[in-house]
Chain A
Amino acid sequence: MAEQSLLEAIREGLHEEMARDPAVYMLGEDVALGGPFGVTAGLAEAFGTQRVVNTPISEGAVMGLAIGAAAVGLRPVIEIMFIDFITLAMDQLVNHAAKLHYMSGGQLKIPLTVRVQCGISGNMGAQHSQSLEAWLAHVPGLKVVTPSCPADAKGLIKAAIRDDNPVVFIEHRGLYWARGEAAGAGAAVTPIGEAAVLREGEHITIATFGRQVAAALEAAAELAPQGISAEVIDLRSLQPLDMDTLVESVRKTGRLLVVHEAVSEGGIGAEIAMRVQQAAFYDLDGPILRLAAPFSPIPASSALDRFFVPGKAEILRAVRGAFRRQGAGG
Chain B
Amino acid sequence: MAIAVIMPALDVTQESGKLLGWKKRAGERVSKGEAILEIETDKAIVEVEAPGDGILAGIRAEEGAVVPFGDTIAWLVQEGEAVPEAQASVKLAPEYREEIRPEGAEMRVALPASGAHGRMRASPKARRLAQELGVDLDGVHGSGPDGEIQAADVRAAADAVQPTGGTVEPLGAAARIAAERTAQGWRSIPHFFVSRDLDARPLLALRDRLAPEIVQAGGVKPSLNDLLVALVARVLRTHPRVNARWVNGSIHHNPDIDVAIAIAVGDAVVAGIVRQADRLDPGAIAARRRELAERAQAGRLQPADISGGTFTVSNLGMFGVDSFTAIIVPPQVAILAVGRVRDAVVALDGRPEVCPMMNVTLALDHRVGGGRTAALFLADLAEALARPEKSL
List residues of chain A with CB under 8 Å of any chain B CB: 254, 281-286, 321-326
| CB–CB B124/A282 < 8 A | yes
Residue numbers in B under 8 Å from A321 (CB-CB): 145
* Residue tally, chain B, CB below 8 Å to A: 16
Stretch at the interface among B146-154, B324-332, B346-354: B146-154
**B128 lies within 8 A of chain A by Cβ:** yes
Q: Mark B98-116, 1 if CB is under 8 A from A, else 0.
A: 0000000000000000000
Give which listed residue, B123, B128, B147, contacts A286 with CB less than 8 A: B123
Which B residues are CB-close (under 8 A) to A322?
145
Which residue of chain B has the shortest Cβ distance to A203 in the bound complex?
B152
Name the contact of B125 in the complex, choosing from A283, A323, A324 (C-beta under 8 A).
Answer: A283
Binding site for A on B (CB under 8 A): 123-128, 142-148, 150-152
Shortest distance between the CB of B199 and any CB in chain A (Å):
57
B127: A residues at CB distance < 8 A: 282
Compute how far the CA of A324 lies from the CA of B144 in the bound complex, rounded to whole angstroms.
Answer: 6
Other A-B pairs, 6, CB within 8 Å; known A254-B151, A322-B145: A282-B127, A282-B128, A286-B145, A286-B148, A325-B143, A326-B142
Asked if A282 and B125 make an inter-chain contact with CB atoms under 8 angstroms apart, the answer reads yes
Q: Which residue of A lies closest to B146 (CB)?
A: A326
Please determine whether B126 and A324 come into contact, CB atoms closer than 8 angstroms: no
Asked if A254 contacts B125 (CB within 8 A), the reply is yes
- Whether B145 contacts A284 by the Cβ 8 Å rule is no
Judge whether A285 and B150 touch: CB under 8 Å.
Answer: yes
Measured between beta carbons, the chain B residues less than 8 angstroms from A325 are 143-144
A285 touches B126 (CB 8 A): yes
Contact status of A326 and B124, CB under 8 A, knowing A285-B150, A286-B150: no
| Contact A285–B143 (Cβ < 8 Å) | no
A285 to B125, CA, bound (A): 5
B128 — which chain A residues lie within 8 A by C-beta? 282-283
CB closest chain-B residue, reference A251: B125
B149 — nearest CB in chain A belongs to which residue?
A285
Q: Tell me the bound Cα distance from A324 to B124 in angstroms.
A: 18
Q: Return the chain B residue nearest A322 by Cβ.
A: B145
Closest-by-CB residue of A relative to B141 is A326
Q: Is the CB of A281 within 8 A of B145?
A: no
CB contacts (< 8 Å) of A282 on chain B: these are 124-125, 127-128
Residue of B nearest to A323 (CB): B144
Tell me whether A284 and B123 are in contact (CB under 8 A). yes
Set of chain B residues within 8 Å of A286, measured between Cβ atoms:
123, 144-145, 148, 150
